[in-house]
Structure 1
């Protein structure tokens, strides 16, 4: 027995399958019965890419792949253990479905396009072999052709991407990148390789070694400076994979300027901020180099009207800068810091770094920072934060900040002028 579905007329004579929640009284509707042999035994939907498995039963490729990925090695219909998980396109059923879709019985459903056959491990290995040979021969044209073929396969389906990733392509690509990294005419090839590598991470240590040589890192920095978001992402991932990569990267001349330029570009901003934080955390001595390039001003200005994710990463960088005496001095000298921090207290989702920055500069300052924060309404916002809840470490810093402000209020008469005794009478004091 076939599956009865409602169809909706979509301009002209083309129709689409709809569910009850999609129905509209203003649209022309009719029922179409899909023959059972055209339905996937798993989803009961019209098959778009019918394939036969070892048991002889035909399924829609997407449904049976999910079944196998879940760990099953049996046929869902017969429950027999399969000798292999190979899926062979059922061209006969696919043609029958297409003919039915275009017939009067199919109600004029738009024909299902012929699916591309997924790439096999053998095909990927062949491409890898050709790319490896072309790299050894420094054959740019052949390398470009193989890399382009990989990109095309990856765009066709997630299954193709998975197959490419699982067959050692990452190492071959990194070897190729390193081999052409100093070739000024190979920019297009290198950009394509970086784009491919972003969905092959994490890569093994051997591949990382090829990608983090001086020449390779120098090329990645150039791509980063030019606003390549894939390069920004790849550098960030490399720095997070191994601290040794940070030391290798910071040996390159002009790397700090490249990162500062990249954080001004929307497409690379977040990844570059994370990379700067990793560099400063692993090599605190780089703080002075970033300070000379006015990193504090750039980071603080980002907090003014940037989206939440940018603000949180900018605060993370500021917090790392404040680990050094020189960094704290530079942050305190910026007149926007306290006003922006106070303004953002209840606006950023992750408050750990914001509180930490405020705590560090208030605790190490001369008291003027505490007074300014108090005048701008920080006390009430911090109390609200404490009542809503925060992490243990953050809670301790907030409590200490409130004690500092409470002391200033008593000394300078802020209590009387702001009538804070009435303002906070409904809030239980945590200190």
Structure 2
């Protein structure tokens, strides 16, 4: 199917597409510069106050447009030859399209019609980039494109719809090698404007835009400086936390948990998350039988991060059902998430020595679950195996089972 979609992209002649909207032209008209556009698109451009040709940026001696009847006939013949399944509206981009889009984005015009045109063009670019890896490379590597769209985020007073469309493009191209690093550098240089725009989308954007914004944030949290900037941006952590209570979508919650885990690099950040009541939210997530596996895994990852500070361990201990909920998820998630769960249990049951947490884990058949993890293929000397051994000791004492284990084997024996 991917091959077929790629084929659809290249069978649409670029000559038939408007340089502004990137759609096949329905009513092609030419300016005095000789460049042809779709009538609706060029009228929006001219009515927005421009006196230049969008493609060439030449000053227009006249704003009159002349119908390009020859091109219109060619487009009609081409559309008829492809039948009703014609890919006339399938996403397609060329270097000329992106060059025009860069010029539009660099304009200071913020009229309503201009913004609508930009939103449409950026959405088309995002849809095209999501079509294939080749498409994504083409968009991401186009000279000046990424820098220009990030520049839109750095402006003040940009309409929310435009910001959402920029985020949509960034979300579609960040998997491309090198894009994350470039975005991170641009974010660091933006003096907070970049993050302020993302915060606005998180507060007022659509659900899909919120998810895309959180993923973009997570993708650019690459080093200590970028993580610190994201975590310390005024109100950003609070906004992310608020999404967990104001929205119920599991994809959004999963993205938020992942992002918070990424930026939690200092004790003060982790302590702030604890103050937000995040441990209670994670506990509810783990206890919910409808929670999907990806969300459960992100929950355990974030909880293991929080558990590395004293405030986090205390909060986990104080949440009555948290340790038991973690134990219940062991071996029902990925290997990495199981390791995160074991680390959380070890932190509160062994390191903190919390009696209530031990009882909660032991009362839910936690010893058997820990033993199962211990015997599930972790190598000799693996830190998880050692933590499991410690957990078996403290949990079996609480239950009066009198178990002992051989550190050189994976066998558990009664004393």
TM-score, reference length from structure 1: 0.64
Query: Higher relative CO (CA 8 A, sep ≥ 6), structure 1 or 2?
Result: 2
Aligned to 1:390: 378
1:275-299 CA-partner distances (Å, limit 9, x unpaired)? 111222x222122222222111111
1:106-162 CA-partner distances (Å, limit 9, x unpaired)? xxxx86525569432233223213322x14x66675455244223224435546554
Match of 2:147 among 171, 186, 205: 171
Mind listing any 5+ residue stretches in structure 1 that lack a counterpart? Answer: 1-41, 53-91, 102-109, 422-426
| Separation in 2, partners of 1:96, 1:203 | 37
Q: Which has the higher helix share?
A: 2
After superposition, the Cα gap between the structure-2 partners of 1:149 and 1:369, relative to the gap in structure 1 and judged at 3 Å, is closer
Contact 1:154 1:160 in 2 (8 A): no
After superposition, the Cα gap between the structure-2 partners of 1:208 and 1:326, relative to the gap in structure 1 and judged at 3 Å, is closer
Contact 2:260 2:302 in 1 (8 A): yes
| Separation in 2, partners of 1:167, 1:375 | 59
Mind listing any 5+ residue stretches in structure 2 that lack a counterpart? Answer: 13-73, 405-409
Match of 2:123 among 147, 151, 159: 151
Correspondence 1:123 to 2:97: yes
Aligned to 2:160: 187
Aligned to 2:262: 278
Q: Which has the larger radius of gyration?
A: 1
After superposition, the Cα gap between the structure-2 partners of 1:51 and 1:252, relative to the gap in structure 1 and judged at 3 Å, is closer
Aligned to 1:246: 227
Aligned to 1:261: 242
Other structure's SS at 2:179 match: coil
Aligned to 1:300: 283
Q: 1:255, CA displacement in angstroms?
A: 2.2
Match of 2:369 among 369, 376, 381: 381
Correspondence 1:221 to 2:204: no
1:66-123 CA-partner distances (Å, limit 9, x unpaired)? xxxxxxxxxxxxxxxxxxxxxxxxxx9xx89987x9xxxxxxxx86525569432233
Q: 1:345, CA displacement in angstroms?
A: 2.0
After superposition, the Cα gap between the structure-2 partners of 1:222 and 1:365, relative to the gap in structure 1 and judged at 3 Å, is farther
Other structure's SS at 2:375 match: helix
| Separation in 1, partners of 2:396, 2:385 | 16
Contact 1:170 1:200 in 2 (8 A): no
| Separation in 2, partners of 1:219, 1:430 | 59
1:298-350 CA-partner distances (Å, limit 9, x unpaired)? 11111112111111111111111111122211110111112212222232233
After the TM superposition, which of the residue ranges 323-332 and 341-350 deviates more from structure 2? Answer: 341-350
Report runs of 4+ in structure 1 exceeding 6 Å deviation. 47-52, 95-99
Match of 1:335 among 297, 311, 320: 320
TM-score, reference length from structure 2: 0.67
After superposition, the Cα gap between the structure-2 partners of 1:111 and 1:324, relative to the gap in structure 1 and judged at 3 Å, is closer
Count of equivalent residues: 320
| Separation in 1, partners of 2:124, 2:102 | 15
